[in-house]
Amino acid sequence: MNVVALSGSTAGSKTRTAMDYTAASLQKQLPDSDVTLLDLAEYDVQFSDGRHHLDYDGDTGYVVRTMMEADAVIIGTPVFQASIPGTLKNLFDLLPGDGFSGKVVSMLVTAGSAKHYLIAEQQLKPILGYMKAEIVQGYVFIEEKNFYQKQITDDDVLFRIDRLVEDTAFRTGVLTRIQEEQDAAYDF
C-alpha cells in the first residue's frame, strides 16, 4: 500500500505538526506500506496551467506523481479566510478531473477556531467527491488550543488521528479487494 500524508499549506506549522504525527502513526500501523510525508512548503510548486499531469516537471512533477501513485491520501489542511489554502486548491487543479478515482482520501483540519468546523464538510468534501475520491467521511478537526510549542498536547486528538489512520488503512484494503473482485467478474 502506498500512502501519502499531505501537509497542504506553505504557511503556519500546526498542520505540519499534525501530519508528522499522522505519518508516524501510519508507519506504526502499516509497517509494510510505503508512507510518504508530502509537505507543500518544501516544494516549489507552480500554478496549474491546464497541461496534462504527466507534462509537469521538477518539484511540481514530483508532487503530482506522488499523489497519482498513492493508494490512499490523508490530506492535512489549515483553514485560511474561511476556506482551504490556495496551495491545496492548486494541487487539486494540477491533477486530472477524476484524479482521486480508486483512492481512499481522508481529511485532517487545523484551525484557529471551532467556528471553522464545517469548512471541510462544505468546501473540501465537494472537491474530493467531484474528483472521485473514496472519502472517509469523518475527519479530525484540531484547534489552536490543542497545540503547544509544535506538539499536540491533547491525547484525545492523538487518539482521533490514530483512528483516522486505522479507518483510512482499513478502507484502502477493502477498496483494493472490491476492485479485484469487480475486475475478476470480467473474463478478460
Partner 1 sequence: MQQYGIDESKGLEFGIYTLGDHLPDPHTGERISAQQRIQEIIEFAKLADEAGLDFFSVGESHQEYFATQAHAVVLAAVAQATKNIKVASSSTIISTSDPVRVYENFSTVDLISGGRAELVAGRASRIGLFDLLGYDIRDYEALYEEKFDLLRQINEQEKITWSGDYRAPLRNAEVLPRPQKGKLPIWRAVGGTPQSAMKAGYAGVPMFMAHLGGPVDAFKQTVNAYREAAAAGGFDPAELPVATAGFFYAAETTQQALQEMYPHVNEGMKRTNGRGFAKQLFAQGADTRSVMNIGSPQEIIEKILYQHEVFGHQRYIAQIDFGGVPFDKLRKNIEIIATDILPEVRKHTAK
> Which positions touch partner 1 (CB under 8 A)?
49, 51-55, 68, 96, 182-183, 186-188
Residue 98's contacts (CB-CB under 8 Å, 6 or more residues apart) are 131, 132
Residue placing its CB nearer to partner 1 in the complex, 155 or 183: 183
Residue 23's nearest CA partner among 164, 154, 139 is: 164
Residue placing its CB nearer to partner 1 in the complex, 32 or 183: 183
Q: Report phi then psi at 32, rounded to 5.
A: -95, 0
Give the nearest distance from C-beta 52 to partner 1 in angstroms. Answer: 5
Question: How many other CB atoms are found less than 10 A from the CB of residue 92?
Answer: 20
Give the nearest distance from C-beta 82 to partner 1 in angstroms. Answer: 32
Give the nearest distance from C-beta 64 to partner 1 in angstroms. Answer: 9
| Cell numbers linked to 163 | 483512528
Give the nearest distance from C-beta 131 to partner 1 in angstroms. Answer: 13
Residue placing its CB nearer to partner 1 in the complex, 32 or 187: 187
CB 4 within 8 A of CB 67: yes
Which residue type sits at 8?
A: G
| Cell numbers linked to 79 | 483553514
Residue placing its CB nearer to partner 1 in the complex, 32 or 49: 49
